[in-house]
């Protein structure tokens, strides 16, 4: 499992999540931050500091939110 950053991050891009991630799996994209699902260790440090509650566990995604996981996977596969 991994954590996923959702729509509230778009436009906000506060970035607290980046500085607390112990495995450096969060990177800034053009519209929001993304978590690399292949590197995330599910520690939840990012979720605890997000000021807009934009970070959820992958298994808590509803069908409409699954696109955010797909966007993160695409972001890291194109690097």
Q: What pLDDT score was predicted for residue 12?
A: 87
The whole domain housing 52 covers 3-77
CATH classification of the domain holding 68: 3.30.70.20
Q: Are 2 and 55 in contact (CB under 8 A)?
A: no
Alpha carbons 55 and 3: distance in angstroms, whole number? 6
Q: Write out residues in the chain with pLDDT < 70, as ranges.
A: none
Q: What pLDDT score was predicted for residue 1?
A: 78
Total number of domains in the chain: 1
N-to-C CA span, the chain: 21
User: What is this structure's pTM?
Assistant: 0.94
């Amino acid at each position: 499992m991994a954590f996923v950053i959702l729509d509230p991050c778009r436009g906000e891009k506060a970035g607290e999540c980046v500085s607390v991630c112990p495995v450096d799996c969060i990177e800034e994209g053009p519209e929001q931050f993304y978590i690399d699902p292949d590197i995330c260790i599910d520690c939840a440090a990012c979720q605890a500091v997000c000021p807009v509650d934009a970070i959820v566990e992958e298994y808590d995604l509803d069908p409409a939110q699954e696109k955010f996981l797909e966007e993160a996977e695409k972001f890291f596969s194109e690097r």
